[in-house]
Every structure is written in structure tokens, then in C-alpha cells.
Structure 1
């Protein structure tokens, strides 16, 4: 009789192939692991004026299977939340699978961009030196791939790294990262790092930093550790201090923690769609909320135009086929669309998106539980967002 696969392996597999499990984790993950709140502060929530628009009948995207309207898109993307703001008003908000507006949802790697915004703000204020190596702030990382990289390299995924002597493979390293922060996902016989800091110490450089682009979680976890050393604050307290409590969030957000009590900064962040929309609207308005500057205007205005010299001007999305054209840019952990509207976005696995388009006066939030598999076609979310913006401006 064949040996039964360990429960941890089965659970990991289900995480990729079962939308119901993905949705459970996206909505309840902070209840399944230790977590720390990102306090919304004492002030009033920023108002979200409403002016309903009927977008259900709009043809939002054309695929090989035909033209899709928003309900079709929601079905294909396993959408959990969808919110459209245009010129400061919420025009459309839906929760197709029963989630509620006040329920936090994992943002996955979209959280990278929020941390990038905090880092860019601290650099603008002179608190953080972009040209310094990470080991200048975190001495124990000296001699590792991330410790020898500059802060600027971390913000642009500019390291070349292998972990524990393994040849680098993105999917394998994603699984290994989850095994670090979630004991229940460790394969049978796992003997690797059990904390994020231990994981980072196993990283060795396979090329000089600042010479290419490789999307890798360790860059963000190293940056988060640098920011903790610079400010003396936890990642949760820092995000609250710099963004959540200043922009008028309505609900607390949350980070899941590793066994050291350290936040999973690269993707363990939960927040409501409305509060993520507030963040996007603040950026669309040049970093201001109701005339009050939350992040420096220069930081907000240069997200889509500030790729520094020496870094690739055009890169591919992580899940894009290797033969696909590289049309995006990457700056301070934000994805830049290089369209005529100055659009940029935060993006996470399973369909998490914060899309900001100053030229279209548009902010869109999408939370989803889409299966990630070569057999499941990617859903053209960005094309749909742009189509909605063009329609609203026509």
C-alpha cells in the first residue's frame, strides 16, 4: 500500500488548486496564524463619497473565448471584492462570494508596494540612505546576497540569489518561504530555516546586485528588516505610523507573523478593499487626503516615472511566459504599466490588485481567489480596469 502523503503536502497542493481553500485562506488567514494589527489610528475614517454607476453590461475585455462583461470576469477571476473609484467617488462595489466590506482580505504581494511607499518616504525625508548596503543597517547580513545589496537594489528586485546552495527556482523558493513562516506547510522531514531572518542568512549571491531584475521575496523581507532597524518600530507600527493612521483608514489591517514575531512583509498583509482604495486615492491625489499631505508629493508623483539609471526599463510580470514581451517597469516595488495614462499598480498572487491611473482619474481594487495553474488561463484584469476608466471618461 503506498504511503499516505503528509497532510502538510496535501494542504499546500490544495492551496493552488482549490478556489474554496484559497478563499478561506485569503479571508481567514490572519486567524490561522499569529498576526499583529496595523492600527487605523484615532481619527475619523476618510469619507468615501458614492455615485453608483451600472457597469455590469459593459464589455470590459475580449479574449479568445469571447467578450467578457464584469460578471463574467468575476467568475473567471474568482473575485472576492471589486471596487471602482472615479474622481474621488465610489461608483461600483461588489463582493461576489459573500465577503463583507469590513472583512480584511489578504493582499499577497501587493503588500510589497505599500512597504516600498514607506521606504521611499523615509528616503525622501533623509531617514534612509538608498545607496547604503543592507548590512550597514543589519550587520549580521554581511556576506549574504541581500546584505551586500544596496537599499536601492532591494527596492528594484536587483539581486541575484540562491538559497542554501539550491539553484534558484521561483516556484520552489515561494514554497520554501511559506514553509518558513507557516509550520503547517512544511514538507515531511523539513529541516530548513524556521524564521524569516534565518532564511535570509542562507542567501548567497550568484551575480552582482543592481545588474538585472529577479522578482524575489527576500528583497522585501530584507528591506523590512532595514526599516525596523532604522525606525525602531515593528513593520505593523511603521505602516500604521506612515500610512494607515494618517490616510483615514476605517479598519485595522493585519500582518501574519513568523515564530520570531516578525511580520511577513512581502505578502502577509490583510486589509479591506475600501481601505486599499483609500490608499490608492491618496496616491492618485499626489499623496494628499483632503488637502493634507500623507506622503511627499514627489514620492507619489514619481512612482510611475522614477526608475533610476542602471535598472532594466522593461521587465515581465512574474507569471508571464518567458517569450512574452517585456513591457512593464518596476520602481520602488510598484509595477509601472507604461501606458498613456501614467498607470501603476500593486499586484499579488491569486488576483490581488490596487490599480491607480492618474490620467483616467481612476482607482480600482480587486481581491480574488483564482487558481494559479498552467491549465487555468490568466485573467486580463488590467485590460478590464483600463476599459472601465476609458468608459467613465468618455
Structure 2
């Protein structure tokens, strides 16, 4: 009899409850899995103007359970690895904690979904991709699956309903099953399921009409990534490099981790430095322009908050919110829309990864963290803090 392995061997579950373990995972992707570069290209990195220090000194924020906290305590509560704040093109705050270093790529987790949304929007703008086209137009092998029966626009708005391998749908379980398909070391003892992301999403069967409900699910992003590969004939890494990363003046290459088939983990396997991510956010804030160069079509950059298409929920609940929390956000082209007076939107990942852009406040914030995910740990109200920083700087 093989027996039961010790708990320490069940690494697939630890990252959600142990900040030290999460921190190791978020900065060590290339040590854990095969990876592919997102090349920064030739040329000198674009400058990040820095003023004298102290722009955020003395600020007080609302912490968990509505308790007032200063910035150091807020960052400690959020298990922060890096906080960068850019206002009107100037980097007013740059801070690294827990030994994390500026030159080290940090996993973006589900914030990576939003960057894939940008690539899809560019291809739609160029006429290479049709939003209303069935996914099987581009990936015939997905016929009969929940994603193949959907339209491209359904994937961009998390508008599919599915069950995997005949299981009743459970978000937490399916998140773990996705990781198990991606990485052998994430698999529980005795695992015999799909060994690639493609095999995993092929087991998804529709349980409802596409485009009628919101379900935040990795499979939508992975199916969309395969659509983009078929349309362009290139990898997700090469496409992101060609359209964005090699053009924003990045300092470092980024990278995606790969599954056993060589496909990028587009839903959460992207890593980049905080300094380069804030360059990305600033480019979007400036209507797709970086300096005197137009990187994204202006229509793509400004359409992120232009509204949710008819048929999709206008208000959705953030995945980490309490079940009884009101639905106050919108979701468009894989970006979270804040619905605040400042036109703010956000890419967001588990453990506290954020790229927050607030055009009316001239604000871009990058937050990297290794925050515990547990019902016993109250979430740190980071978005409220970002808005407080923005109104302070803007005012």
C-alpha cells in the first residue's frame, strides 16, 4: 500500500494560505516550469521621472474593518512586495518589501487576463478577429465544449457557463484543477486528470446559454489565447512582445510559464517587473501613447471603460468578495471597471496583484503582493487606498 503523503508534499494547496510560500512562487516561475520570454526588444528603456521623496507621507487610509492605518501598516497588512505610484507621468512612490528586488519579474496572476484582452482588442480593431464569430471558427477542436459553443465576445466577458469533466462547478476546485493541468508539482496525490491546459478546457461542457451570465473562469482566457494563436500564427509571448512589450521602453524581458504542450498559461502565468508594468499602465492612461509613439490604437485604450455590451451583466461581484456583497463592478474585455467618477479600471490577480489606472486622476498604481487568501483574513481595501492616493495627489 502506497500510504498517504505528508501534508508538506501537497504543495498544490499551500500558496493560498502561506504568504512566504506564495512569495516564493510569485518570483520563481522560471525555476518551477518551462517559460518563454516576452522580449523587451532593442533600445534604451524609457525614463521614469522621479521627484523628491515624500509625496505620500502622512497619508491615512481605511484598513480592514474600517480601522484607520498609515501607509506602512496598510502595505504590511496586504503582504506587499512592491508599490509603485505614477502621477501625471512622474513616479512619485517606489517601494520594495520582503526582499523583493526591482529587477525581478513578479507573477501577475489573473491580472494577465487583462493584457490578453488588450491583444484581442487590437486584433479586432485591425479586422483580424471578429467579436461575434463562434470560437470554433478559429479553433474547430473546441466544438462541443462550453468555449467552442460561445462567441469570441463571450470569452472576453466571462460569459460562459460550464462544468468540467462532469463535475458540478465549484470555482475554488476548478482553479486548483487548472493549476494541476498546468504544473505537475501542483497536482494532488494520485492525480490522473488532464496534463495540459488544452486537455483541461476540452472537458468543459456548457450548462447554460453563452452571453447570459458572468462566471469568472480561467478557461475563457485560455480558449481566447488559443484563438489568438490561430489568428496570428504565433505564440502569446511573441504577440505581446510585438504589439506592446517591445514598444513601451521596458527595462526587462517579461515571461510566461508554459504547460507540457508548450502553450502559455495566459490566464495567470505572466511575470514582469513592477517598473515595466507601470510603463504599460501609463501608456494606456495616455490613450495608447508612450511619449510621441502611438503603441495601441487610441480607440482600443479608451474603449476599456466604454461600456459593457448588451446582454452581459452591467454589474458583477469581484471573485474574492463575500457572497452577500453587492455587485458593484463591471467587466469588459477582461478588465475590471470600477464605475467611479474617475473612469478607473484595473487588472487584478490573486494574492494582491494590481495594475490600477484612473485617467481622471492622472494616476497609475502597480501593487505586487503575496497576500493570504482565506475567509479568516479580511481583505485589505487596496482600491480604496489607491483612490485616496489619487485624490490626494490630484487635489
Mapped to 1, the partners of 2:280 and 2:138 lie a distance apart of 28
Structure 1 residues 369 and 62, CA gap change in structure 2 (3 angstroms) = closer
- What are the within-5 Å matches in structure 2 for residues 100-179 of structure 1? 100-179=101-180
> 2:219: which partner in 1?
218
How many equivalent pairs are there? 393
Mapped to 2, the partners of 1:200 and 1:282 lie a distance apart of 33
Structure 1 residues 213 and 9, CA gap change in structure 2 (3 angstroms) = farther
Mapped to 2, the partners of 1:269 and 1:133 lie a distance apart of 27
In the TM superposition, what whole-angstrom CA distance separates every residue of 1:48-90 from its partner, at most 9, and x where no partner exists? 1111342142102244362111101111010001000000000
- What are the within-5 Å matches in structure 2 for residues 176-325 of structure 1? 176-325=177-326
* CA drift at 1:9: 5.6
Which deviates further from its counterpart, 75-84 or 180-189?
180-189
Mapped to 2, the partners of 1:6 and 1:158 lie a distance apart of 40
Structure 1 residues 249 and 132, CA gap change in structure 2 (3 angstroms) = same
* CA drift at 1:250: 1.1
> 1:50: which partner in 2?
50
In the TM superposition, what whole-angstrom CA distance separates every residue of 1:289-319 from its partner, at most 9, and x where no partner exists? 1121111101111111231111110000011
> 2:12: which partner in 1?
12
> 2:330: which partner in 1?
329
Mapped to 2, the partners of 1:342 and 1:47 lie a distance apart of 26
In the TM superposition, what whole-angstrom CA distance separates every residue of 1:222-277 from its partner, at most 9, and x where no partner exists? 00000000000101001101110111111000100000111000000000000000
Runs of 4 or more above 6 Å deviation: none
Query: Gapped runs of 5+ residues in structure 1?
Result: none
Query: Gapped runs of 5+ residues in structure 2?
Result: none
1:21 aligns with 2:35: no
* CA drift at 1:7: 6.0
Mapped to 1, the partners of 2:93 and 2:307 lie a distance apart of 31
- Normalization by structure 1: what TM-score? 0.97
Mapped to 2, the partners of 1:183 and 1:245 lie a distance apart of 32
Structure 1 residues 159 and 25, CA gap change in structure 2 (3 angstroms) = same
Mapped to 2, the partners of 1:24 and 1:273 lie a distance apart of 16
> 2:352: which partner in 1?
351
> 1:387: which partner in 2?
388
In the TM superposition, what whole-angstrom CA distance separates every residue of 1:14-73 from its partner, at most 9, and x where no partner exists? 212211111001011222111111000112212111113421421022443621111011
> 2:87: which partner in 1?
86
